Amino acid sequence: MSSFIVPVVDVKKIEPHRNANNLELLFINGWQVVVKKGEYAVGQKVVYFPPDTILPNEWAERLGVKKYLAENRVVCVKLRGEISFGMVIPCPPELFEAEDAALYFGATKYRSVYRVDDYFSVKDESRFTKYTDIENLRNFPDVIHYGEFVVVTEKIHGSNARVGAVDGRRIYDTRKYGNRYEWKPFDEEWVCRVVDALSALHVQVILYGEVYGNGVQKNFVYDGHNKLNFRVFDIMLDGRYIDYTDLVALSQKYGFLGHLVPEIYRGEYNPRVIKYADGKSFLGNNIREGIVVRPIKERMHPKIGRVILKYISDKYLIKDYSFNEN
């Protein structure tokens, strides 16, 4: 599971709010939070509740924040033109030595309820491995090294899915979107061709990707929206995720380069790559949900395991899906 924490941290930086004299911008692990001016100081220890934190009703009322929550869920809001990503409170003395306050407050992570009925068309196979949960780059800004060779791809607003073969037997997630649209990957000639070719060479083959199109998600209309589409972003062979360059090479060899998620940038890592989270989707007249950043060469990190991180666009977080080319 993707790690969920309510971090106890020291305030590193505070900046003035550009549009409000009585507000300030406080920065926590790459996240910006709008607070009352003078309420916090640099060096002060605080508890940070990230977006999509669910607080028990008792704590929401005790902290006096219930009216600011959406059914006890911490959400992103825009306050006088600045986005506030989450919520902070002064750290209780008993948590000064703690790193994570989730258990103390009984906080949990919000889980979306999608219009998707998941079931397997074949008996569940333990080697049909579920995909890595991707951590947020805002929470782990130092995991990718400055100058490290990375690739940045578009994060499609769809539904994660997988298809492949184990011991030569085809296998996939069977999903229905709404009441009408069922994803059947082996109806696609290119999927059959790729899976069959790779399964002749490997015991385990899994293509991970995003299903998008009609009936999948609201508010986004991608090209080819009248049917379900599938874009690959990762492949596992015999228990190992392959390097990105090998993914591209396989896509060229087996003719599915056009079925990969859009690549936006490939080169040396610089924190400024987050700018690619904004802009028009390569797949339709929508904003981008965000980006995924990963090293060209697979590696692990002691904090998060596999190094692959997402960065969600500001407009998506505040549910402003409109795209204006100007």
CATH number at residue 173: 3.30.470.30
By residue range, what is the domain housing residue 91?
8-109
Residues 188, 214 within the same domain: yes
Q: What is the pLDDT of residue 114?
A: 32
Query: Distances in Å between the alpha carbon of 319 and those of 76, 205, 219, 310?
Result: 9, 36, 9, 17
CA-wise closest residue to 156 among 247, 229, 243, 205: 229
Backbone torsions φ then ψ of 20, nearest 5 degrees = -150, 120
> With pLDDT > 70 as the criterion, what percentage of the chain qualifies?
89
* pLDDT tens per residue, range 83-136: 888 899 999 999 999 999 999 999 998 764 332 233 334 445 667 888 888 999
pLDDT value, residue 94 = 96
Q: Is residue 258 located within the same domain as residue 180?
A: yes
User: What's the pLDDT tens digit per position in 141-186?
Assistant: 999 999 999 999 999 998 889 999 887 888 887 666 655 567 788 8
Domain check: are 120 and 161 in the same one? yes
Residue 273: pLDDT over 50: yes
User: What's the CA gap between 120 and 130, in Å, rounded?
Assistant: 13
Compare 243 and 326 and report the one with higher pLDDT: 243
**Same domain, yes or no: 54 and 19:** yes
Residues 105 and 126 in one domain: no
Taking the CA atoms of the chain, what radius of gyration do you get in angstroms? 21
Give residue 326's pLDDT.
Answer: 56
Compare 226 and 255 and report the one with higher pLDDT.
255
Number of domains the chain is built from:
2
What is the average per-residue pLDDT within 256-271?
96
Are 105 and 120 members of one domain?
Answer: no
pLDDT value at position 170? 87
Q: What is the pLDDT of residue 37?
A: 94
Same domain, 229 and 294: yes
Query: What's the CA gap between 147 and 269, in Å, rounded?
Result: 5
Among the three residues 58, 87, 109, which one is the final residue of a domain in this structure? 109
**Same domain (yes/no): 147, 46:** no
Token pair for 251: 């896509």
Residue at a domain's end among 109, 136, 154: 109
Angle between helix 244-254 and helix 189-199 axes, rounded to 10 deg: 110
